[in-house]
Amino acid sequence: MEQYGADSRGRARTVVGMRIVSLVPHATELLFALGLGPEVVAVTHECDYPPAATALEQVTRDVLPAGLSAAEIDAAVRERTQRDDAIYELDGDALAELNPDLIVTQALCPVCAVSYAEVAELAKEMPSCPQVISLDPHTLGETLEDVHTVAKATNCRERGAELARELTARIERVKLAVRGRPRLRVAALEWLDPVYIAGHWTPELIELAGGEDVLGSSGASSVTASWEAVANTEPEVVVAMPCGYDAPRAREEALVYATELAGLGAGRVVAVNASAYFSRPGPRLIDGLELLAHILHPECVPERRYGTSRADSYLECELGQATDAPPIGLA
């Protein structure tokens, strides 16, 4: 049976009716961007965008207790992943009752979603024999390839090609806007205790935005580093992007480590909404690219408000008295 709906901009589209379960937030965002919202029957507890996704049935829950510090979260995640235990619990009975035709998940990061192996085993036992797609991009280009992968699986190739063209055009506009501008040295920190250097697609976003990533490698995994190692790269801008945090929480976390951040010697420390624009390799990575370009080159790239205020995107971190701290390693 043909089902009709509209994409996120209200444009009509037609797909063969499907029952889709998304088990990772960036897949949910991509499905809605393709106009497949009416076909999505369930998501995870982390799927908060677009707002319509929050009204859908949730088939996962977080097993970590609330209120942990950054160090405690890291320790708990390390302990569980070493035991091959996920930090999310999947309601297998609820998933089976939904009888999906398609399940979209990922195997890239054990912290970000339920176990792919668990999902695949459950799918084998379902009467609907759902197709399971794993989206595991390491680079920005691979996130664009995922658009075509999902579009093909859902019979909306035309809309997929259109979305990919739109995203590519926005990337090209940023590249043109910052062409010839001085490249600021940027340190992107994905976690602060311990320090994690942002990897995967983030170094590429920084380069496209007119910066020089002094620590990360495009396509490579995020890695830990010491504060001294970060300071030795002499960053001019530090971007605090704790994985899964919005801008106010990222700023709050940055202020906890104000002395360490001030010791890096950077002229600016900026906290960004990583949850929306950097942690999830979906269509909003391009929002993140535009945001970075504005942060690094505001004279070339005007500010865009993706929420109700600038605080929804990024916040400058005024480190107070800690800014007088000597550079790390030179105290």
Predicted confidence (pLDDT) per residue in 30-43, tens digit:
999 999 999 999 99
pLDDT of residue 307: 61
CATH 3.30.420.110 fits 182-324, yes or no: no
**pTM given for the model:** 0.87
* Neighbouring C-beta atoms of residue 246, cutoff 10 Å: 22
Inter-residue contact 171 to 191 (CB < 8 Å) = no
**pLDDT band of 254, cuts 50, 70, 90:** very high
Diameter over CA atoms, the chain: 70
Residue 184 token pair: 């600021």
- Residue 13 pLDDT > 60: no
Rounded Cα distance, 201 and 216, in Å: 10
Report percent pLDDT > 90 for the chain: 71
More confident residue, 86 or 268: 268
pLDDT of residue 309: 64
**pLDDT band of 319, cuts 50, 70, 90:** confident
pLDDT of residue 112: 60
Query: CATH 3.40.50.1980 in the chain, residues?
Result: 2-136, 182-324
Q: What is the pLDDT of residues 170-194, one digit of tens each?
A: 999 999 999 999 999 999 999 999 9
Inter-residue contact 107 to 138 (CB < 8 Å) = no
Inter-residue contact 209 to 182 (CB < 8 Å) = no
Inter-residue contact 2 to 14 (CB < 8 Å) = yes
For residue 112, which of 238, 190, 26 has the smallest C-alpha distance? Answer: 26
> What is the radius of gyration, based on Cα positions, of the chain?
20
Inter-residue contact 280 to 29 (CB < 8 Å) = yes
Rounded Cα distance, 253 and 262, in Å: 14
For residue 20, which of 10, 9, 3, 11 has the smallest C-alpha distance? Answer: 3
* Neighbouring C-beta atoms of residue 67, cutoff 10 Å: 6
Fold of 2-136: Rossmann fold (3.40.50)
pLDDT of residue 49: 95
- Residue 4 pLDDT > 50: no
Inter-residue contact 103 to 24 (CB < 8 Å) = no
Rounded Cα distance, 8 and 165, in Å: 16
Q: What is the pLDDT of residues 108-165, one digit of tens each?
A: 666 666 778 888 889 999 988 999 999 999 999 999 999 999 999 999 999 999 999 9
Work out the average pLDDT over 18-28: 96
